[in-house]
Amino acid sequence: KQAAFWLALSLRPELLILDEPVDGLDPVMRRQLWSLIMGDVAENGTTVLVSSHNLRELEDVCDYVGIMHKGRMMIERSLSQLQENLIKVQLTFSEQGRLPEDLDILHESRTGQVRTLIIRGNTAEVSSRIRAANPIFFDVLPLTLEEIFIYELGGADYAVKDIIF
C-alpha cells in the first residue's frame, strides 16, 4: 500500500481519491501513511478525498466532512461547523435543581447522579441556560465526529437487523 501511495504522490496530483486508505495496517504504518499524505497536502496543496468508516481517524486528518447514507449526502460541513451545532455536557443537580425546559436533548445517559447529555444548540447559549439553573457540577466535553454521526444520523434508516440478517 505504501508503495502505491508513493507512486500516486510522485505524479503530484491536484486531487487524490482514497478508499479506506489505512484499512488493515498496523498503528505505526497508519501513522506513517497519514503523515505522508498530510505532508503532500502541506507541500503541494493536494486535495484529498477520503472514503472511510473509521470516523475517529478521519477526525484527526480532515477539516471538511461529508457523510453519505444510501448514496445520499446527509451532512456536508467543516468539522468545526459540525461541532458548533451540538454540545456534550455532564452535570449534576441538587434534589430540587432542574434542567431548563425546552432544551433540544438528543441523548441522555446517567452514571449515578451525573447526567451526560447531547444537546442541539449553540454552545454558549446552552451553557448559559444550564448555568442559570445552578447545577452542582457542570462541564462541557469534546464531541467526537463519531458521536456527531450517531446523534445526527442515528435515526436515518439504520437497523442492525439489516446488517446481521
Given a cut of 60, whether residue 39 has pLDDT beyond it is yes
Residue 143 DSSP one-character state? -
107-138: pLDDT as tens digits: 999 999 999 999 999 899 999 999 999 999 99
> In the numeric block, which cell numbers belong to residue 154?
442515528
- The architecture of the domain spanning 84-153 is 2-Layer Sandwich (3.30)
Beta strand spans in the chain (E): 15-19, 47-51, 64-69, 72-78, 86-92, 104-111, 114-120, 137-141
- The architecture of the domain spanning 2-62 is 3-Layer(aba) Sandwich (3.40)
Predicted TM-score (pTM) of the model is 0.70
Amino acid at 33: L
The closest of 21, 55, 63 to 152, measured between CA atoms, is 55
Residue ranges per structural domain of the chain: 2-62, 84-153
Given a cut of 90, whether residue 151 has pLDDT beyond it is no
Q: What are the b/e assignments for 75-103, b being 16+ CB within 10 Å?
A: beeeeeebbeebbbbbbebeeeeebeeeb
> How confident is the model over 138-162, as a mean pLDDT?
74
